[in-house]
Amino acid sequence: MIYKGSCHCGRTAFEVEGDLTQVADCNCSICSRKGALLWFVPRDKLRLLTPDENLATYTFGKARIRHRFCPVCGIHPFGEGTDPSGRAAAAINVRCLEDVDIAALPVSHFDGRSL
């Protein structure tokens, strides 16, 4: 299935393809503050519908994840990095997707704080 998503103001829009069957609640210092619920997909399943230069990037710590956000409204729709196998991956903030019943999705807890 293809899902459409965006930041709050719409300056950043994207599509992501896959089977959304669960989300992860990460306890790292940034995810816990954002309140993001994450869906991990291969990076090639995420397609920007607006120019990449519409996004800003934030990294911290070991800078393994590029946290992408809109510099206008401040919303963080996704992050980019690599999965444990070294493949490019994206962590989609499911709260930024259209027409998703978040309450119906199982939530797993991810201990990002310990990484």
Question: Is 80 exceeded by the pLDDT of residue 115?
Answer: no
The listed CATH number (3.40.50.150, 3.30.110.60, 2.60.40.1120, 2.170.150.70) that belongs to domain 2-114: 2.170.150.70
Give domain limits for the chain: 2-114
Mean pLDDT over all residues of the chain?
94
DSSP one-letter string for 10-52: SSSEEEEES----EEEE-SHHHHHHT--EEEEEGGGEEESS-G
Predicted local confidence at residue 81, as pLDDT = 93
Kind plus residue range of the DSSP H or E element containing 56: strand 56-58
Is residue 63 helix, strand or coil? coil
Highest mean pLDDT among 13-17, 63-67, 80-84, 110-114: 13-17
Query: pTM value?
Result: 0.92
